[in-house]
Structure formats: C-alpha cells, structure tokens
Structure 1
Amino acid sequence: MENKSEKSKARETTQEVDSRIAAVRDLIFGENIQQYNTEFEDVYNRIKALQNETQKNLGAAVTNLENKLADLESLMDHKFQDLNDDLDKRLADLDDEKADRRKLGKALEKIALMLQE
C-alpha cells in the first residue's frame, strides 16, 4: 500500500509542478502565444484563399484551352472539307476520257499550298 500511496503522491506532486510551470509559461509567454496563434490563423486563411483562387483560375484556364481546341478542330474540319470539295470539283472538271495532267498537277499543287497555310 505504501508503494501505491507514494506513486499517487508523486503523481500529484508532478501535476502541481506541471500546473505551476504552465501558469508561469502563460504569464511570461501568454500574450506572445496568442499573437502567434492569431498570425498563424491569418496565414492559414490567406493560404486557403490562394488555394481557392488558384483552383478557380486553373479551372478557367482548362475551360479556355478546351474551347480553343474545339475551335481549332472545327476550323481544321472546315478547311479539310473545303479542300475535299475543291478537289472533287477540279476532278469533275477534268476530261473523263483523258485526264489532263497539267490541270491535275496544278490542283494538287494548290491543295499542297493550302495545307501548308
């Protein structure tokens, strides 16, 4: 029993010392700790705001790029359709029995130039 009693007294003494140390610490550093906590909270809030803004900007940039890619794809589809229509027209203009090689060469040359643009 003495052993248990000694242990409980030691615990009580340790708790008293700990509470005294905490009280002294709060007296000496309490104001600074509160100030640091406030500053850390401000920094944390700024970080959160910047994260939210960054996510919003990233989403807008992705949407913008997707729109531009869709516009480019549409433009390329129209260009290829125009080239196909032009080729079909020029081929129809060629003599069915004798293919005029010069006309065919010029048509293919024009298509090559349009593809390079």
Structure 2
Amino acid sequence: MKEQVKEETPENLNGKLNSANSKIDAIKELIFGENIQAYNSEFEALKADIIAKKEELQNLIGTVESEILQNIDTLSTDINIRISDLEKSVEDKLDNLDEKKVNRKLLGELFIKLGEKISD
C-alpha cells in the first residue's frame, strides 16, 4: 500500500502543479494577453529588422572589402610602374654622367693633341 501511495503522490502533485500552472497561464493570458502579443509582434519585427540590417551590413562589408582589394591591386601596379620609371630615370642619369666624364676625358685628350700640334 505504501508503494501505491508513493506512486500516486507524484502523479497527484504533477497533476496539481500542471493544473496550477495552466491556471496561472490562463490568468496571465487574460491580464497580459494583448500586451504580450503586441510585445511578441514588436520583438519579431525588431528581430527581422536586425537580421535585415545585419545582412545589409555584411553586403556592405563585402563590397567595401572588394573595393579595398581592387584599390590595393591598382596601387600596387601603380607603384611598380613608378619604381620602374624611377629605375630607368636613375640609369639614364648615370649613363649621362658617364658620358660627361668620358667627354671630359676626350676633351682633355683633344686639348693635348691640339697643344702638341700647336707646338710642332
């Protein structure tokens, strides 16, 4: 008999708790029903708006990222072209300096030969 009482007690308690919970839920629904539904719909609208904004921001981030990568590639190409131009310019100036030095040497030799011809 004690076993039957133990088994019945949880069922009865659960039954009483369930009925108490359902009564409380019914009272909540009566008192706050319209407000809760309004809050739920507002929360759902806010949730949908947040999700839409998140997707919009992710799209914007993707667009900005691709533009930045494209600008980096363009800048890299431009820098490489400028470096090549600078290297060519430096090489040309070095060649001109070498020619000027050679011309001075040639000029000196010409002056020596001219001096020798004048003295003869």
Tell whether the structures are fold-level matches, with TM greater than 0.5.
yes
1:63-82 pair list within 5 angstroms: 63-82=66-85
Gaps of 5+ in 1: 101-117
Which of residues 90, 93, 102 in structure 1 aligns to 2:93? 90
Q: How far apart in 1 are the matches of 2:51 and 2:103?
A: 71
Per the TM alignment, residue 97 of structure 1 is displaced from its structure 2 partner at its CA by 6.6
Unpaired runs of 5+ in structure 2? 105-120
Q: Select the structure with the greater relative contact order (CA < 8 A; seq sep ≥ 6).
A: 1
% identical equivalent positions: 25
Residue type of the alignment partner of 1:12: G
1:18 aligns to 2:18 (yes or no)? no
Tell me by how many angstroms 1:91 deviates: 2.9
Q: How many residues align?
A: 100
Cα RMSD of the aligned pairs, angstroms, is 2.2
CA distance in 2, matches of 1:21, 1:42: 28
Q: Which residue of 2 aligns with 1:112?
A: none
State the SS of the aligned residue for 2:99: coil
Q: When the two structures are superposed, what TM-score results if normalisation uses the length of structure 2?
A: 0.70
Instruction: Classify the secondary structure of the residue corresponding to 1:12.
Output: helix
State the one-letter code of the partner of 2:47: Y
